[in-house]
Chain A
């Protein structure tokens, strides 16, 4: 049995407290009125020494979908030689919305990131059962513990979505009836994109995942004490069922929770793209926690062949992610259709560093570090690559949400880092608490002997 060390518990709690303080600061520091924003603009101008014209010009081609109606409004006015004063106030209002969104978006990105790790771990777990994998049963309790974050993580995301639905924030621009009124594209999609249906769908996904998770974990525990394989066989069928449910709901979840922040834009492989991100983050987390526990003297049956296999998955899924990223990017870049290509223009113009930096972190780094077969067995190589992959995929989610919600006012500052600390601390606390609840070896798993002697 694993016991949660007080040091780890304290670290997690410090993360949560520091994160919570930072997040509260983020919400309090967000400007509440146009006057505040005008002050900020004045400060920025003084600081940069640039004229207002420059800022306004940048604003004009910053067409990031959110409050597009207002941007168009502003553009229309400038065409009709609107007074400088009017333009200025519309710009300030635009900036106000972005800055008010910023702490919400920071919270949402971090909440989603840690939630998706738990969901990905559950998918990985179900794949092991459905494939009747012989190498992995010694890792099952680690994976089960990671999925323990699914319930709190998904409920936090649901809470944020409900708050958006009740207009506490404006992450989802299509939820604003004022915007929809002036937007024919969103009007056409409103049969699907409306708040009640959106929340009903979210509840269905979350309930489904958590029920499957509950049943699978219950079977795993019962199987430990049983003298037959009925629970194991049931888990096999449940896992197959879950994988079908998962790939449909995960796809729809990615449209609902991520793609709809850019309601004009769509990509048909978006579900796969988010899946690749979620899956590689989950496998990386499994590898990191396994290595951590092994270094603390637990998991006596895990050998470097198991680490090797996890690292192979990290390497393979990183390349799979890149393949999907590129497939999405190249087709849109090549066809150059305005309503599609704005998505990448915003990211290349306003998010150049995170957008291309993420490719280095998620593709080039794992490619070079984990290519050599021997390096995949060296713990510190896997840990180093793992940390870079997790940072890279946080930035990936960041790039999905931020351009549509905060536009060019992005910055990874106190609200963003605090949100990561808060949800990271919560994740560590829940996952490691879950590890203490069951023996670290699923001792009666029919494949456990094969797994113990697994040797590549």
Chain B
């Protein structure tokens, strides 16, 4: 079954925000919005669920903290204790201040890198991936809203989108 969508193109982000709100109020279904830059508040206007990326980041941070603590305990306490400046070398807790910078750095390292990788995977982005944006102008100065036609009338919808300030409306057979 081929689905039909309308591509409405805007030239201004404020206009786009307004159009997104109106389109949702008119109970049309917005498939996707393509913008040349992140538009603040667009996710809320589109009604997207809040991101869970922060939760994953926190968990990755905990992993990093655990890895660092385990690693330092093995290296500096269990495997090869060394006398550095007369510091107690047989007890993890008494040596803790020396390990804190490493634990901090690895927490940040794990949280940041794994969060970015998670973000790429969730956004389906990887090397040599073909660009998904349907119109190259959305990488420059145009904004594109893709609206599902479903069982609405195409003419009526085109007129509605034109009224919201779209400079052109195109019917696309997917």
Contacts and interface: CB of A to CB of B under 8 A. Distances in A.
Nearest to A374: B50
B154 interface: no
A336 B97 CA distance: 13
B98 interface: yes
Contacts of A333: 97
B100 interface: yes
B1 interface: no
A336 B85 contact: yes
Interface string A304-336: 000000000000000000000010011001111
Interface string A419-433: 000000000000000
B54 A334 contact: no
B134 interface: no
B22 to A, nearest CB: 20
Contacts of B85: 334-336
Contacts of A334: 85, 87, 97-98
Contacts of B97: 326, 329-330, 333-334
Most buried by B among A329, A330, A373: A330
A371 interface: yes
Contacts of A330: 97-98, 100-101
A335 B98 CA distance: 11
Contacts of A326: 97, 100
Interface in B69-120: 85-87, 97-98, 100-101
Interface in B57-77: 58
Contacts of B101: 330
Most buried by B among A334, A335, A373: A334
A340 to B, nearest CB: 14
A373 B53 CA distance: 12
A371 B86 contact: no
A373 B86 contact: no
A329 B96 CA distance: 12
A336 B86 contact: yes
A330 B96 CA distance: 10
A341 to B, nearest CB: 12
B107 to A, nearest CB: 12
Contacts of B98: 330, 334
Interface in B27-76: 54, 58
A371 B107 CA distance: 15
A336 B101 CA distance: 18
Contacts of B58: 371
A217 to B, nearest CB: 35
Given A334-B85, A336-B85, A336-B86, A373 B100 contact: no
Nearest to B54: A373
A372 B54 CA distance: 9
A335 B85 CA distance: 8
Contacts of A335: 85
A373 B97 CA distance: 29
Interface in A53-75: none
Nearest to A372: B54
A336 to B, nearest CB: 7
Contacts of B87: 334
Contacts of B86: 336
B47 to A, nearest CB: 17
Interface in A328-367: 329-330, 333-336
Interface in B119-155: none
Most buried by A among B87, B97, B98, B101: B97
A330 B95 CA distance: 11
A316 to B, nearest CB: 15
A195 B100 CA distance: 41
A336 B58 CA distance: 35
Nearest to A330: B97
Contacts of A373: 54
A329 B97 CA distance: 8
Nearest to A335: B85
Nearest to A326: B100
Contacts of A329: 97
A329 B100 CA distance: 12
Nearest to B98: A334
Contacts of B100: 326, 330
Nearest to A371: B58
A9 B98 CA distance: 50
A334 B97 CA distance: 8
Contacts of A336: 85-86
A218 to B, nearest CB: 37
A8 to B, nearest CB: 39
A330 B85 CA distance: 13
11 contacts: A329-B97, A330-B100, A330-B101, A333-B97, A334-B87, A334-B97, A334-B98, A335-B85, A336-B85, A371-B58, A373-B54
Q: Which 6 A-B pairs have the closest CB atoms?
A: A330-B97, A333-B97, A326-B100, A336-B85, A334-B98, A329-B97
Interface of B: 54, 58, 85-87, 97-98, 100-101
Given A334-B98, A371-B58, 14 more contacts: A326-B97, A326-B100, A329-B97, A330-B97, A330-B98, A330-B100, A330-B101, A333-B97, A334-B85, A334-B87, A334-B97, A335-B85, A336-B86, A373-B54
